[in-house]
Amino acid sequence: MDQRIVVGMSGGVDSAVSAALLQEQGYEVIGVTLNLSPKVEGEDAWERDDSCCGLAASEDARRVADRLGIPHYVLNFREVFAEKVIANFLDEYRRGRTPNPCVRCNDHIKFGTVLLKAQALEADLVATGHYARVGTDPRTGRRVLRKAVDPRKDQSYVLYVLTQDELRRTVFPLGDLTKQETRELARKFNLPVANKPESQEICFVSERNYGDFLMKLAPDIAQPGPIVDVEGRVVGEHRGVAFYTIGQRRGLGLVSRDPLYVVDVDASSRTIIVGPEDALFDTELTADEANLVGVAEIREPLPVQARIRYRMTDADAFVSQPSPGALHVRFAQPQRAITPGQAVVCYVGDEVVAGGTISRTKRTRLREAVQQR
């Protein structure tokens, strides 16, 4: 084939098998591993064994590249990662929102910046070990993003940010495979990471300890404030809006006859609003930073199946486009704990129609009503 392709190699089995499959198909494969890890008070995440983009992962990727006989480079993206992903991560928590850094990383780092590096290496394409599929709509010629064959591994939710140009230059070799089949291929190719367990954590936060991470990088986040109920009555005090998220029940430090949940976070007044579980349910949301994938525009409400969290069942809804860069989603049935900062992704069948960052829900009106009391 003699077509050069850059494969993002995280040191795991998925990216390793992707590189091996593409080499078998005749591509000229170049492996790259990204050094993204920040330093936090002397602790360098690059040196942590549990970091998916750390030194140990880089060494595993190098061993795979040696086994395949392909060149392998480590690219230092620390500064751009700190600017585009970590700074946004902190700012979103300051705003009382719950960010999804994996979506942001895919948008600005793993595809946007890596595609630029691929051009410098005279490569036409970029591939990763994500479980998703890319195709072409024969009616419109648009590139489409589809769910993976394996629903348990599908990662289309965190890839909705890919533009048409990026989709034309991106390959997902594992989209038609199950995880078990990927493992079997790793053993067939005799890859040294064939039995390596999966990384489940955010790469720059050790052991899911978000609180410690936030305090080390942004101690200003820990500003206490009132906890109020849906009637506006003060029922307690919190230690900082960044440490609470929609739907949270544990760790509120409240004594109540009935269970209370965080139903909204008002960062401007440093207020946490709590209420009964039924106050968590919404039927509508607005999203910004929208990306249209399967369609060029949405002229009238379109029936879709929408997802508001990575691990959830798609729900029937209608999506409309009130303005450029925005989406409005109305669900057929109320959804629990729609959370600003998270992504909403809309599908028709297995194709991604559009996605965006949740910015407003009907609960926002509850917050405004509480503020007026």
- Residues that are catalytic: 105, 203
Q: Could you write out the DSSP letters of every residue in 317-355?
A: EEEE-SSTT-EEEEEEEEEE---TTSEEEEEETTEEEEE
Helix axes 179-188, 13-24, angle to 10 degrees: 60
Residue 171's identity, in one-letter code, is V
Structure tokens at 126: 């970029």
Handedness of CA 202, 204, 205, 207 (dihedral sign): positive
| CA pair distance 133, 174, nearest whole angstrom | 8
Handedness of CA 151, 163, 106, 168 (dihedral sign): positive
Length of the chain: 373
Distances (CA, A) of 349 to 145, 146, 180, 231, 320: 11, 9, 24, 42, 17
Q: Could you write out the DSSP letters of every residue in 279-298?
A: GGEEEEEEEEEEEE-S-S--
Beta strand 225-229 pairing with 234-238: antiparallel
| CA pair distance 220, 94, nearest whole angstrom | 9
Task: Tell me the three state secondary structure of residue 12.
Answer: coil
Contacts of 122 (CB under 8 A, 6+ apart): 4
| CA pair distance 113, 109, nearest whole angstrom | 5
| CA pair distance 373, 371, nearest whole angstrom | 6
Residue that has been written with the tokens 């591994």 in this structure:
153
